Amino acid sequence: MELYGYWRSLAAFRVRIALNLKEIPFEVTSMDLIKGQQFNDDYRKINPQMVVPTLVDNETVLTQSLAILEYIEETYPSPALLPEDKLGRARVRSISLISVADTHPLVVPRVRKYIVEEMGHTEKELNVWIKNWVTKGLTAIEEVLNKDRETGIYCHGDNITMADLCVVPQFGAARLFEIDTSAFPTISRIFDECMTVPAIFNARPQAQPDFPKEMDK
């Protein structure tokens, strides 16, 4: 398999975790989103949306991280990232989508770029935007985790699920943006627990080959 990604992409982070957990060999092709490498003609032929991640499995080309996770889960079912029961699967997908559909898309690089360059907002105003939406998303996830008895060591029970693969990168990004995360103790606990798992720890942005050496302090 070949994964087109970028070290700081939350969506690519999710996919790396899944591949690592299931011990699926893969090669990484880095697309520097800051330099705009995703806009070159060759990549556009692979992914017309010109975003990451893209997963290439022989002749199969897949885009959109959640669809990729579902494909990986169905193709390589062990260890399972979705519960056996339908209500459990629905809950895991619901938590995942709070991050993947309702939070992350509002703070991706192309949105941030448009807000500043096309709409004329300042970096200070952009940071207010980012803080607002990331905080709202994490607040919702924290409330769901706290009110449901299905929450265990991880987001759903005591096994890692797709929900963890989506929440962990989002929480890590909140820290990257220097957002106060003290209001999210349950997510913080789950994040710390996940980071003790080698497959997740090794998928983190700082462990990627394209992580800038000048940031490695």
* Domain definitions of the chain by residue range: 2-79+202-215, 86-197
The string over 9-29, giving b where at least 16 C-beta atoms fall within 10 Å of a residue's C-beta and e elsewhere, is: bbbbbbbbbbbbbbeeeeebb
Sheet architecture: strand order including 2-5: 27-30, 2-5, 54-57, 60-63
The CA distance from 76 to 74, in Å, is 6
The CA distance from 131 to 22, in Å, is 33
| Each residue's pLDDT expressed in tens, for the chain with a length of 217 residues | 999 999 999 999 999 999 999 999 999 999 999 899 999 999 999 999 999 999 999 999 999 999 999 999 999 999 999 999 999 999 999 999 999 999 999 999 999 999 999 999 999 999 999 999 999 999 999 999 999 999 999 999 999 999 999 999 999 999 888 899 999 999 999 999 999 999 999 999 999 999 997 776 5
pLDDT at res. 214: 77
89, 70 Cβ separation under 8 angstroms: no
| 2-79+202-215 has CATH 3.40.30.10 classification | yes
Tally Cβ neighbours within 10 Å of residue 163: 28
pLDDT at res. 133: 96
Q: Which residues pair with 2 in a beta bridge?
A: 27, 56
144, 154 Cβ separation under 8 angstroms: no
Q: Directed axis angle between helix 86-100 and helix 65-75, to 10°?
A: 150
Q: How far is CA 160 from the centre of its chain?
A: 14
Q: 191: helix, coil or strand?
A: helix
Tally Cβ neighbours within 10 Å of residue 188: 17
CA angle 202, 171, 130 (to 5 degrees): 130
pTM: 0.95
The CA distance from 125 to 133, in Å, is 13
Return the DSSP state at 2: E
Helix (H) or strand (E) holding 31: none
Which amino acid does the sequence have at 99? S
* Pairing mode of beta strands 54-57, 27-30: unpaired
pLDDT at res. 216: 65
| 86-197 has CATH 1.10.490.10 classification | no
